């Protein structure tokens, strides 16, 4: 004779019960790690870069988009730099990689 086992489908598909507080703590730890190792250093780097861009003055030697030149005129979003005697180009301030005073 065969025995028939009845399995309740509700108990078979039930997920294990965990602590909601534990999950919340885990998420907070992950976000804290992301913040301290990725977001915070990037903010610091961007602040230093913005300070460098704001300190550019006429006559400074800069490298923008891989081209070295001397700043001749500064606009709101662009600047003009002389790359050779009589050759002036306009570049975006965001293209500036380094400034030599």
Do 27 and 41 lie in one domain? The reply is: yes
Give the pLDDT confidence score for residue 19 in this predicted structure.
Answer: 79
Give the pLDDT confidence score for residue 62 in this predicted structure.
Answer: 94
Do 47 and 76 lie in one domain? The reply is: no
Find the CATH number of the domain harbouring 61.
2.30.30.60
| Total number of domains constituting the chain | 2
Is the pLDDT higher at 13 or at 36?
A: 36
User: pLDDT at residue 47 above 60?
Assistant: yes
Do 74 and 90 lie in one domain? The reply is: yes
Q: How far is CA 13 from CA 5, 7, 16, in A?
A: 17, 11, 9
Give the pLDDT confidence score for residue 21 in this predicted structure.
Answer: 79
Do 43 and 62 lie in one domain? The reply is: no
Whether the full predicted model's pTM is greater than 0.85, yes or no, is: no
User: Residue 56: pLDDT band by 50, 70, 90 thresholds?
Assistant: very high
């Amino acid at each position: 004779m065969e025995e028939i086992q009845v399995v309740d489908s509700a108990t078979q598909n039930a997920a294990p019960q965990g602590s909601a507080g534990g999950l919340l703590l885990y998420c907070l730890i992950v976000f804290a790690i992301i913040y301290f190792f990725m977001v915070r250093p990037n903010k610091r780097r961007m602040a230093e870069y913005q300070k460098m861009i704001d300190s550019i003055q006429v006559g400074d030697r800069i490298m923008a988009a891989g081209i070295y030149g001397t700043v001749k005129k500064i606009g709101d979003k662009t600047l003009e730099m002389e790359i050779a005697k009589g050759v002036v180009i306009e570049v975006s301030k965001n293209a500036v990689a380094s400034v030599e005073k």
